[in-house]
Chain A
Amino acid sequence: MTAKRLSAPILLLLPAVLVLAAVVVVPLSLSFYSSFTPFRLTRPETFFTFIGLRNYRNILFDANFWWAFGRTVLLLTIALNLEMLLGLGLALLVEKASRGQRLLRTIMMFPMMFSPILVGFQFKFMFNDNIGLVNNALQSLGLTQDAIPWLIEGHLAFIAISIAEIWSSTSIFAILILAGLLAMPKEPVEAARVDGCTPWQTFRYVTWPFIMPFAYIAMTIRSLDVARAYDIVKIMTDGGPAGRTELLWTLVARTAYSDARMGVANAMAYFSILLSIVFTVYFFRKLAAARTQIGAEW
């Protein structure tokens, strides 16, 4: 019997491959498998009942799931657009500053140093209807006499969550766009000014095409982030009031752990990943197009 010896590269890679398989591939396949079972944490034997696509079919007809799905897309749209605009504005403001730019950059990245859990608590405190900063300010300025129920009314709660989300992540846009602005050659801008452009035209026709790729990179990162938004919502409203701020992943977590319906939860999770994939592909396409357009060499 001649045992074929494994070649050195394979042998050397084997430990890493085994570890990766153990911590990534096995759980992934198990969870993927369990999405085809009626697995409940309380009844372990259900793990072995195969029910095919029934979980997926149930999800498709589950109004709660679609509401959460829609809300996540809505949050994504609102947050990404506003963060884009605000981040762009912030980057332009900081880039134009002639003095103290280093300090401004540090302050600008301040929100990125906060963990999402902390951001959640912070904004929960600020939006508190009784003692929160926001209501206190509105009342002191005489804009209203009432205590606005920020986290108690559905729409307001969604707005509050969006604000927290935007506050914590505008910096990502700002820092990436600022990097683009600093990397950009100054001469085309000067040429445009001489060619007769107003500041707005200079931005529109010269600066913007240059920084567009950077904006798309930020978009990609953030779309993945928001599509799996969990911590801030969990802390601020926990999906409430009455499920009015339930997002995909708070719903998944609730189904999995509170309701103990692991099988359904995994089915939802795999379905939700589609959303992330769609956005990533979309923004990467845009990024590639924008890069070719400016003839980027990176």
Chain B
Amino acid sequence: MAIVSLKKLTKRYGNMEIVHGIDLDVADREFIALVGPSGCGKSTTLRMIAGLEDISGGTIEIGDRIVNDLPPRSRNISMVFQSYALYPHMTVRENLGFSLKIAGAPKEEMDRRVAEASAILGLDALLERRPSQLSGGQRQRVAMGRAIVRDPDVFLFDEPLSNLDAKLRTQMRTEIKKLHAKVKSTVIYVTHDQVEAMTLADRIVIMRDGYIEQVGTPDEVFQRPATRFVAGFIGSPPMNLQEATVDDGKVVFASGQSLPLPRRFKARVSTGDKVVFGLRPDDLYPAGHGLHSGDAADVHEVELPVTVTEPLGNETLVFADFDRRDWVSRMLNPKPLKAGDRIAMSFDLSQAHLFSAETGKSLRS
């Protein structure tokens, strides 16, 4: 149970700087997800917190204690690895109890805690097996059990679900969430899967190229992405993003097609500004087939040709050509459509985003 605080945390390999002085405060019992594309420095950051990588600059604090140079064993953390990292020569029981044995815990306490962890994770039937006799999901469960047995200050998860198949991943995701509800401790969870981050975390940290792009609750990063990158990274299917120029109350795209400038940005941009216009698939829908919030005056209708449709049963993703590019739209209550049909599309401009084309930063206040 502890806070974690990173200040100007930096990692360099030779002349290559991988993590550029990031600041982050994780509250006690908070579930934080570090998310970003591969190579963004999220795993390196986690490994620095764990003490598995040296830090090149800045400080790491765990529970009011600066741990910059302490070895992992002095940090009272536990970690779940992507490849499970079980000890292959030990049974599940020995794997679970290993950290307690090292710490010199008495036999009864060890048995009790292993029994607790195994009950929480449903490992009772597997205790005498070796890791090689377990399935991927079971191994992952043992790895988590090994982490919770210790009762550490902080749990670190390094892409724990990415070696599992899609179905098992969804199932384990739910289990991790339940586990956090039960165990109630600080968790830092690294993943490249934004859905995992959104569903699990109290707050999400989106990283890119060694910088933090945005920190916020799942709602915040979805509703108010701070940068063009976050807007494109969070959400599935991704937000439609297109470069445009502001011209006298209009947003003009490269092909000459235009949309009215969303009202709330009127004061923030002026004619000639280069911007990136963003609209989520949920806010672009065939007229009458979406959920729109806000003022009806903000809905702008354009007739567009359909290029492809992807029916999903309860909804259909419609790709329509606008500004010579496919824009994704989510059609609720689907009706049959085929490529080439022209339909009236509603752009819900009250939900639109504008980013500076130069800095990528959001232009909303």
Name A's B-contacting residues (CB within 8 A).
Answer: 185, 187-188, 190-198, 201, 205-206, 209-210, 293-295
Contacts and interface: CB of A to CB of B under 8 A. Distances in A.
Nearest to A297: B132
**A-B residue pairs, 7 tightest by C-beta:** A187-B85, A295-B132, A195-B99, A191-B85, A193-B72, A196-B73, A209-B89
A185 B81 CA distance: 12
B262 interface: no
Contact of A193 (B73, B88, B89, B131): B73
A294 B99 contact: no
Given A196-B99, A206-B87, A191 B79 contact: yes
A295 B89 contact: yes
Contact of B52 (A185, A190, A198): A190
Contacts of A295: 88-89, 130-132
Interface residues of B, number: 28
Contacts of B72: 190, 193-194
A190 B85 contact: yes
Given A190-B85, A294-B89, 12 more contacts: A187-B83, A190-B81, A191-B79, A191-B87, A194-B52, A194-B72, A195-B78, A195-B98, A195-B102, A195-B150, A209-B89, A295-B130
Contacts of A197: 73, 102
Interface in B24-81: 50-52, 71-73, 77-79, 81
A195 B74 CA distance: 10
Contact of A188 (B77, B88, B103): B88
Contact of A194 (B77, B83, B84, B89): B77
A289 B51 CA distance: 35
Interface of B: 50-52, 71-73, 77-79, 81-89, 98-99, 102-103, 130-132, 146, 150, 156
11 contacts: A188-B87, A193-B51, A193-B52, A193-B72, A196-B99, A196-B150, A197-B73, A294-B88, A294-B89, A295-B130, A295-B131
A187 B15 CA distance: 26
Given A295-B131, A295-B132, A194 B102 contact: no
B131 A194 contact: no
Contacts of A190: 50, 52, 72, 79, 81, 85
Nearest to B79: A194
A194 B73 contact: yes
A123 B168 CA distance: 64
Interface centre among B52, B71, B89, B150 (most CB of A within 10 A): B89
Contacts of B51: 193-194
A201 to B, nearest CB: 6
Nearest to B74: A196
